[in-house]
Amino acid sequence: MTNSSPEHAILDDFDSRPGSATSLIRTVLGAYRNELGGWAAIAELVELMRELGIAPDATRIAVTRLKRRGVLKSAVREGRAGYRLTAQAEAMYARGDRRIFGFRQMTDADPWRLISFTIPETLRAARHQLRRRLGWIGCGTVSPGLWIAPEYLAAEVADIVAALGLSDCVTTFLATSAVVPDSMADAAARWWDLDGIAARHREFLSHHAKSAKARQLTPREAFVEFVPLLDEWRIIPYIDPGLPPSMLPADWPGVQSVELFGAARDRRLAISREWVRTLRQ
């Protein structure tokens, strides 16, 4: 089994470094794809990225990387050479919109999805990819062959298993309760890297608390401020599964982080989209 197809490349693209040219242009393409019409000339991408402090050469290199990863494809429109999103990228962004722009959080009454797998040594690489991808969408590790996630991640789990060709090796269960030797809060600390997730939230708050404050901005200024904030935020709703408050530390920074992003989204996204739309007219 190889991972050379665009579908696999996109599934593997969770860990691009926030703030890099590749990460920023990926964020711009996702958030403003409707305003761009799913297609853009390289000159338009260069101008958009220049507003974010990215040099033209860095933008061109980033576009080449996104082509290689299966996100973009060369396309001519009305005699102009440019790039359009691939079908796989469109599907990826549609899934991402639901998670990134609307943070989901469990209650104590919500069910779990258990993921059990036994994968032969001949498929070691696929087993590694499965564990990596389950971790990247917010699943927790109960044991090496048993993972746990909120039930609302079940469809994403199924997509990953199918993409890796491991459907014959994986069984999932719907669970409404769990019995642990201590408390569910203690179990959560074992199953998830809560310290690492909390650090992501705190870094986000530290980097964007000032810029996200309510004040009057032009549409262009809203774009310049919102894109870096979104670029850093978009990783958090993947690694943070949205556990119920009873399973989290009392000082959990995710509460403030979610509120900060929600306020910035409400104040910046619509007007920044309007600015991008006017550039195409």
**The pLDDT of residue 127:** 96
The pTM (predicted TM-score) of the whole model is 0.90
pLDDT band at 4 (very low <50, low <70, confident <90, very high): very low
**The pLDDT of residue 18:** 87
User: What's the token pair of residue 202?
Assistant: 């705190």
Question: What do you get for the CA distance between the two ends of the chain, in Å?
Answer: 46
According to DSSP, the residues that pair with 76 across neighbouring strands are 81
Q: Give 43-66 pLDDT, tens digit per residue.
A: 999 999 999 999 999 999 999 999
**The pLDDT of residue 174:** 98
User: Interior CA angle at 227 toward 221 and 231, to 5°?
Assistant: 160
pLDDT mean over 202-209:
94
Q: Give 241-277 pLDDT, tens digit per residue.
A: 999 999 999 999 999 999 999 999 999 999 999 999 9
| For residue 16, pLDDT beyond 80 | no
Helix (H) or strand (E) holding 216: none
If 0-12 CB within 10 Å is exposed, 13-18 middle and 19+ buried, where does residue 68 land? exposed
